[in-house]
Amino acid sequence: MDRRIAAIAGLLYDIGRLAQLAQPSAQGTDATARSEAFIRQHVPADLLSSGWQDVLRTAVGLADRLVAGGDVGQSQPQPRTLLSVFCQIGDDPAKRPKRAYLSLRPLALDEATLFPSAEVRGDAAAYASLWQGLQDAAAKLQGQADAEAYIESLYHVLRRYTWCVPSAAEGVSLFDHSRVRAALAVCLADLGEAEIQNLLQLPDDASRPLAYLVKGDVSGVQRFIYTLTSKGVAKGLRGRSFYLQLLNEAIARYILREMELPVTNLIYVGGGHFYLLVPPVGEGRLLEIRRGLEDLLLKHHDGALYLALGHAELRAADFRADRFSAKWREAGGSVAEAKRRRFAHVPDLFEPRGHGGNEETECQVCHAERRDIARDEEVRKCALCRSFEDLGGALGRSQVLALGQITPVQQEKGRYEALLAELGFKVALLDEEVEKRLGDWVGVTRVTVLGLRDFPAAQLCERVARALRCPVAAGVRYTANVTPRKGQYEVATFEDLQDASTGLKRLGVLRMDVDDLGYLFGHGFQGKENGKERHLTTLARVAGLSSMMALFFEGWVGELCRRINEENSDRKTDVLYTIYSGGDDLFIVGAWDVLPGLAKTIRDDLGRFAADNPYVHVSAGITLHGGKYPLYLAAADAAEALESAKDVPGKDALTFLGESHHWQDWKKVDDYKNELHGLVEVRQVGRSLLQVLQRMYAQYCDVRDALAERGGLRARNGRDQTVWGPYMWQSAYLLTRLAERVNGEVKERVRNLRDRLSADNFRAIETVGLAARWAEALTRSTSHSKEGDK
Ligand SMILES: [Zn+2]
């Protein structure tokens, strides 16, 4: 049975459901009949054999049952609006959020589309508009005679119009249900009709595996990105980070191609790893593919990057909601085990080699000894490092990625394009000069044009097709791609970002990642059904949660950064650079003073995006550095700050200026900072106020820490407990003196501050201390920092 037909039929098996929602008066019409009508009307006839209806009935029908967890659907009332997948996470029913529903809009990166609301939005007019959009888009694909390009385009069209449409299973979008069903149908395509009928009768009875859930992880990533001297400029760093994204995508697609599987079987790629659903090919075949890829990575990256590959076997019963989470963890566990073995046996080849060898052959950016070193502005760089700078520069000019397919060819080690070519890929970032960017593309058999921010324009895809005379698929791969501008054309450097900061001139580094992610994916899905708590973890839900999380970090975070750059357009340069944001974490550099606000917005927006589920939260670490401080050290410092934030009980915290606070206390810090900043900057009370408060805070810390050492502190810090000490009366005295020196309203405000602090026994000093340091940094007008200063 043709796998491509299984993919197409799998994608469209119950598209008629959207038609039903769009025309509730036609409720009686059979969704299956409408789906078949859609396939007949829209799928190019050349891509369907006469037996496609049998495929629907057998492989796709079985896949549909299995991916839904085996038993969801029939007796349940059909959902009319899509519940957010985040509403079903958490094993404590009391902590589960209120129900929130997705908007009924085609997928796009804007506020009105992305954020769920409590309002039930099941109106037929909105569905009718989605249905019409889908039909129009599907009609445009009718001329596509290439099956692979057709499947990929169809996949993206479905995502755009059905990401918000409910499937039979609550909390699962029609898109997620359809795409994992297609993936599984492809795996089942080789089964005989008798076996499928058998499985349809008794799905638990299958004794042999039906599919593998394969997880891949390109590791060594942290060091690959950050093991650089200060001479590695911003562009190179951005290029490296994007290359890792490309590499994951290329490796995932390479494996699919090796196994002759369509793109539907790429379940997830992002955050440095990928998941595939493949037929049960046997351990030997996976090992063979892994070895080939390891050799390639070793050849081109000298052991700096390598692939860990693991898998879990899926039998029919493993798709059940009470068993699937264990399988998901098993795939992850087998990758973790592969990484552990690797670290145990392979010496770390990427240690900077110092100047042991010939200095002239050592790259000053990545420290590798290579033959392709060239001087660039007095810095010796290898071809690979130079190519990453080119890639980073190209990203600053483009929001469209073209991924071309070629026959894999042997290449000499050199630029990053060499490894991608060995995997069978050409890559270009497209701007207005489409033809020029594709000028050296020969032997390309198919191209995927992926918008990084929005679906690519049809006109652009047509230009690509004309330039290369090959089939073109179009889709979107959201990527937080914000490059700071200096003037019209130049990319701002780290020094420029530092100079653009307010007050103290420092470069800020922000790192964030979602807390307890393993719990969310591995244990999280539960819900009530007929009054009983039950497990809800299915492949479709896990895939849905992954893609929603990625939508936030890859899509929405980029929009937030862009907005902040626009809001600060009066500064010398843009203020933010998204080095990386994807999966469930991010690394952003910028003018330090805008980072706390950005981090808070990201935290709040993730909360809203996740339907205010208390289990979903994110911690952050912000550090400040001189613009010449080596970035790998800055990255490590920020990682340590992030770790400190995760030490706060319950996590969900931020570390800034060396202090960690729970996000829920952050408003207090921010309010005090604003008040103090206002007093110092506008009211001319003098910075002595800030110094008094900081001294007072230091004294308080001494008392607090001494108390903690004696075991007299109940909480981790004094926030919930009065910490008695002489700093109290001394502070009150100093603030009184300060108030005497100023007049009018300012006098009142200083006194008011003193009285508020006294009234709660100075417990607020925890927040005021940080607020005073923050306000001080904002008002300090020193120019450049000492090198290496933090
Ligand atoms: Zn290098």
Query: Given this model, what pLDDT does residue 646 score?
Result: 97
Residues 266-298 have pLDDT tens digits of 999 998 899 999 999 999 999 999 999 999 999
Report the separation in Å between the CA atom of 720 and the middle of ligand 1, taken as the mean of its atom positions.
51
Residue 79 three-state SS: coil
Taking the C-alpha atoms of residue 405 and residue 250, their distance in angstroms, rounded to an integer, is 10
Query: Given this model, what pLDDT does residue 70 score?
Result: 64
Q: Which residue has the higher pLDDT, 531 or 509?
A: 509
Report the separation in Å between the CA atom of 631 and the middle of ligand 1, taken as the mean of its atom positions.
15
Q: Which residue has the higher pLDDT, 504 or 227?
A: 504
Residues 395-408 have pLDDT tens digits of 999 999 999 999 99
Phi then psi for 473, rounded to 5 degrees? -105, 145
Report the separation in Å between the CA atom of 295 and the middle of ligand 1, taken as the mean of its atom positions.
20
Report the separation in Å between the CA atom of 641 and the middle of ligand 1, taken as the mean of its atom positions.
28
Sign (positive/negative) of CA torsion 574, 655, 270, 84? negative
C-alpha distance across the termini of the chain, in Å: 63
Report the separation in Å between the CA atom of 642 and the middle of ligand 1, taken as the mean of its atom positions.
29
Query: Given this model, what pLDDT does residue 221 score?
Result: 66
Q: Which helix (H) or strand (E) holds 642?
A: helix 631-647
> Model confidence at 783, in pLDDT bands (50, 70, 90)?
very low
Query: Given this model, what pLDDT does residue 27 score?
Result: 60
Q: Which of 506-515, 549-558, 636-645, 745-754 has the lowest mean pLDDT?
A: 745-754
Report the separation in Å between the CA atom of 244 and the middle of ligand 1, taken as the mean of its atom positions.
15
Q: Which residue has the higher pLDDT, 779 or 377?
A: 779
Report the separation in Å between the CA atom of 111 and the middle of ligand 1, taken as the mean of its atom positions.
41
- Which bin fits 271, alpha (ψ -120 to 50), beta or left (φ > 0)? left
Report the separation in Å between the CA atom of 348 and the middle of ligand 1, taken as the mean of its atom positions.
17
Query: Read out DSSP for 709-742?
Result: HTT--SSSSGGGS----THHHHHHHHHHHHHHTS
Residue from 494, 505, 450 nearest 629 by CA: 494
Q: What is the mean pLDDT of the chain?
A: 89
Report the separation in Å between the CA atom of 422 and the middle of ligand 1, taken as the mean of its atom positions.
20
* Average pLDDT, integer, range 708-726: 72
> Model confidence at 364, in pLDDT bands (50, 70, 90)?
confident
Cα angle value 97/543/213 (rounded, 5°): 140
Taking the C-alpha atoms of residue 749 and residue 741, their distance in angstroms, rounded to an integer, is 13
- The neighbouring-strand residues paired with 529 are 532
Report the separation in Å between the CA atom of 366 and the middle of ligand 1, taken as the mean of its atom positions.
4
Query: Given this model, what pLDDT does residue 348 score?
Result: 46
In the sheet that holds 400-405, the strands lie side by side as 425-430, 400-405, 446-451, 472-476
Tokens 């009234």 locate to: 759
Tokens 């100047």 locate to: 355
Report the separation in Å between the CA atom of 154 and the middle of ligand 1, taken as the mean of its atom positions.
40
Token output for 699: 């004294």
Is the model's pLDDT at 787 over the cut of 50? no
Taking the C-alpha atoms of residue 93 and residue 763, their distance in angstroms, rounded to an integer, is 34
Taking the C-alpha atoms of residue 558 and residue 206, their distance in angstroms, rounded to an integer, is 46
Report the separation in Å between the CA atom of 636 and the middle of ligand 1, taken as the mean of its atom positions.
20
Burial of 145 (0-12, 13-18, 19+ CB in 10 A): exposed
Taking the C-alpha atoms of residue 63 and residue 319, their distance in angstroms, rounded to an integer, is 10
Residues 63-110 have pLDDT tens digits of 999 998 765 444 466 778 999 999 999 888 888 899 999 999 999 999
Is the model's pLDDT at 350 over the cut of 50? no
Query: Given this model, what pLDDT does residue 227 score?
Result: 59
Q: What's the DSSP call for residue 555?
A: I
Contacts 24+ apart (CB under 8 A), 602-609: 602/512, 602/557, 602/560, 603/512, 603/652, 603/654, 603/663, 605/115, 605/552, 605/556, 605/560, 606/514, 606/552, 608/115, 608/116, 609/86, 609/114, 609/115, 609/116, 609/548, 609/552, 609/556
Token output for 380: 């010796």
Query: Given this model, what pLDDT does residue 222 score?
Result: 67
Query: Given this model, what pLDDT does residue 715 score?
Result: 57
Report the separation in Å between the CA atom of 249 and the middle of ligand 1, taken as the mean of its atom positions.
23
Q: Which residue has the higher pLDDT, 680 or 776?
A: 776
Report the separation in Å between the CA atom of 347 and the middle of ligand 1, taken as the mean of its atom positions.
20
Residues 168-202 have pLDDT tens digits of 888 999 999 999 999 999 999 989 888 888 888 86
Q: Give the global pTM.
A: 0.94
Query: Given this model, what pLDDT does residue 600 score?
Result: 98
Is the model's pLDDT at 148 over the cut of 60? yes
Is the model's pLDDT at 308 over the cut of 50? yes
Token output for 449: 């044009």
Q: Are 507 and 622 in contact (CB under 8 A)?
A: no
Query: Any residues with CB less than 8 A from the CB of 173 and at least 6 apart, and which?
Result: 82, 85, 102, 162, 163, 164, 165, 166, 167, 544
Query: Given this model, what pLDDT does residue 786 score?
Result: 41
Residue from 176, 524, 181, 170 nearest 325 by CA: 524
Token output for 354: 């110092």
Report the separation in Å between the CA atom of 369 and the middle of ligand 1, taken as the mean of its atom positions.
8
Report the separation in Å between the CA atom of 236 and the middle of ligand 1, taken as the mean of its atom positions.
10
Query: Given this model, what pLDDT does residue 347 score?
Result: 47
Phi then psi for 588, rounded to 5 degrees? -130, 140
Within 10 A of 519 (CB to CB), how many other CB atoms are there?
13
Report the separation in Å between the CA atom of 23 and the middle of ligand 1, taken as the mean of its atom positions.
60
Taking the C-alpha atoms of residue 13 and residue 534, their distance in angstroms, rounded to an integer, is 27
Token output for 569: 């357009």
Pairing of strands 507-514, 490-491: unpaired
Is the model's pLDDT at 1 over the cut of 70? no
Report the separation in Å between the CA atom of 292 and the middle of ligand 1, taken as the mean of its atom positions.
24
Report the separation in Å between the CA atom of 232 and the middle of ligand 1, taken as the mean of its atom positions.
9
Report the separation in Å between the CA atom of 238 and the middle of ligand 1, taken as the mean of its atom positions.
14
Token output for 588: 């952003």
Q: Which of 267-281, 336-350, 653-667 has the lowest mean pLDDT?
A: 336-350
